[in-house]
Amino acid sequence: MFKGSFLYSIFNNKCPRCHNGDFFIDHNPYHLRHMSGMYKVCPKCGQPYELEPWFYYGAMYVSYAVSVFISLATAAIVFFIFKVGLLPGVILSCGMPFLFYPLIFRWSRLIWINVFVKYRKPTTP
Ligand SMILES: [Zn+2]
């Protein structure tokens, strides 16, 4: 993923506008105590991260879609490749979104802000 692509911002925890400043304060999403700690503005370019009050309410829909995708992908893998039984397959595919919850939380917020804030190449002074 190269700089300038929204995927770079999503998977590298970077500001959607400049791709240089961090989005979440702690880089490891599995430090659960600091999982949701975000900067108010980008430390590099000053882009506000909360565009309006309750902005990340919409990220909930993205989170749902990502969770369903992970669940279905897990179901496809365990049923068609590993050919496990029905009960372990259902437990695995339903449990996988819980295992990935910290990542899903962060990806959904980053996807949501990337919908509204586009990358701008930094101008040279
Ligand atoms: Zn920035």
Mean pLDDT, rounded, for 4-17: 94
Q: What tokens were used for 43?
A: 């430390």
Instruction: Compute the distance from residue 35 Cα to the ligand 1 centre, in Å.
Output: 20
Residue 124 has pLDDT above 90, yes or no: no
Instruction: Compute the distance from residue 37 Cα to the ligand 1 centre, in Å.
Output: 17
- Note the pTM of the prediction, 2 decimals: 0.90
**Confidence band, pLDDT 50/70/90 cuts, at residue 103:** very high
Residues at Cβ < 5 Å from ligand 1 ion: 15, 17-18, 21, 42, 44-45, 47
Which residues are 48's β-sheet partners? Answer: 41
Among 62, 38, 69, residue whose Cα is nearest residue 51: 38
Mean pLDDT, rounded, for 44-51: 95
- For the chain, helix, strand, coil in percent to 5 are 55, 5, 40
Residue 122 has pLDDT above 90, yes or no: no
Structural contact between residues 108 and 6, judged by C-beta atoms closer than 8 angstroms: no
Instruction: Compute the distance from residue 38 Cα to the ligand 1 centre, in Å.
Output: 13
Instruction: Compute the distance from residue 112 Cα to the ligand 1 centre, in Å.
Output: 16
Instruction: Compute the distance from residue 50 Cα to the ligand 1 centre, in Å.
Output: 13
CA distances in angstroms from 23 to 4, 15, 31, 67, 94, listed in the order given: 16, 5, 15, 21, 29
Give the model confidence (pLDDT) of 50-102 as tens digits: 999 999 999 999 999 999 999 999 999 999 999 999 999 999 999 999 999 99
Instruction: Compute the distance from residue 14 Cα to the ligand 1 centre, in Å.
Output: 8
Residue predicted with more confidence, 1 or 11: 11
pLDDT for res 125: 61
Q: How many CB atoms lie within 10 A of CB 88?
A: 11
Residue predicted with more confidence, 124 or 34: 34
